[in-house]
A = this chain, B = another copy of it.
């Protein structure tokens, strides 16, 4: 009898159910790090393999996420970032019953480089304002957004943003009552150490990089933005509903917007 087992309850399942209870009860909060396997093994008086089996089971059920060399973490709910024509960061987050907020990282005045100039349809090296901010959903980092505006067309928009903390409100001061996302391109990149700190993400998980241009009612570019979203918490959703039939304008969720900001 190498191992006395009480009845039919497998040892790893008992470990699992304790951890699961801690997670579901909120004792272990989303994003929190779980103790190293060796520590858990010692605490429960079982072998590390037994703990591992329990952890793997919890991963399969999506309650834990483990990262090589970093540890296991309690899963956080995924926020879906809907890419549409008129969505705004705030409304996306609010739709999911979360509180949106922002931290202003910096406002820089600089000449437009090639890509910014092309997106805003202005001349290269023309003055632009670069606004960098960190978006939060329920206090958790959801993305770093960098926004570029034509400083000639919107003089002082940096200060407007600093006061309002909102692209929409800052633009309103210049008579822009509405704007739309023309198109977006999506790629993925690895985070810099700074990204990791700001987004509270491990260095081995990629970021979604979304680039896009917002235009006014006359299809003239107003804003070019680049945002980096952590794949640990954010997911992009593109839902294209039927466009031919009934209502075509208004509420049709085909909108693409102002990601991150």
Contacts and interface: CB of A to CB of B under 8 A. Distances in A.
A235 B187 CA distance: 6
B182 A240 contact: yes
Given A206-B189, A248-B243, A248-B248, A183 B237 contact: yes
A17 interface: no
A232 to B, nearest CB: 10
A240 B184 CA distance: 8
Interface residues of A, number: 37
A204 interface: yes
A249 B246 CA distance: 11
Number of copies of this chain that the complex holds:
2
Interface string A220-261: 000000000001000111111011100011101011100000
Contact of A240 (B189, B250, B256): B256
B239 A244 contact: no
A25 B206 CA distance: 35
B183 A238 contact: yes
A237 B213 CA distance: 12
A134 to B, nearest CB: 19
